[in-house]
Amino acid sequence: MSIDIERIDGYLGRYAASLSDFDAEAAVALWSTPGMIADDRVSGVLDTREEMIAGLKQSYPLYRELRLASVSHELLDTNELSERLVLVKVRWLFRDAAGELLTDANSYYLLRDEDDAGLQACVCVETDSAEHLRALAEERGIDLTKWSS
């Protein structure tokens, strides 16, 4: 494999740390532009880093209300598509301040090894994050309609 597992795991670790720190700029630095996110209901393309940062920052108040304190990951699968492209399946683990698991989410990322920036996400396909987020919000008594645009 031209993109080794250690590099992928390191990339995902940096991404998880940026999410834990609510650091939109650091998270977005790990994305290529444009970037695309798709799930069962919608697909969206963000053309600029500024759009990506704004989108992430919009989600932070909800994550704080859900008491998200840290994010970690489990690399579940890799599929080398070319010398520079790899499709990865990752399980994100969302924990509270006590380290208790709040919820998880499984996602696929198309990562490209770019000359100047290293690994960058090009596409994210969310498989169950919306469902898991809804379940956590319901468990916590949080009305998600106030967070929809």
pLDDT attached to residue 104: 97
Span 60-87, pLDDT tens digits? 999 999 999 999 999 999 999 999 999 9
Distance CA 33, CA 20 (A): 22
* Residue ranges of the chain with per-residue pLDDT less than 70: 1, 147-149
> For position 148, what pLDDT does the model report?
60
- Tell me what pLDDT residue 8 has: 97
Domain regions of the chain by residue span: 5-140
pLDDT at 147: 62
The class that CATH gives domain 5-140 is alpha beta
The token pair that represents 97 in the structure block:
């301040």
| Type of residue found at 16 | A
Q: What is the pTM of this model?
A: 0.92
What are the residues whose beta carbons fall under 8 Å from the beta carbon of 4, sequence distance 6 or more? Answer: none
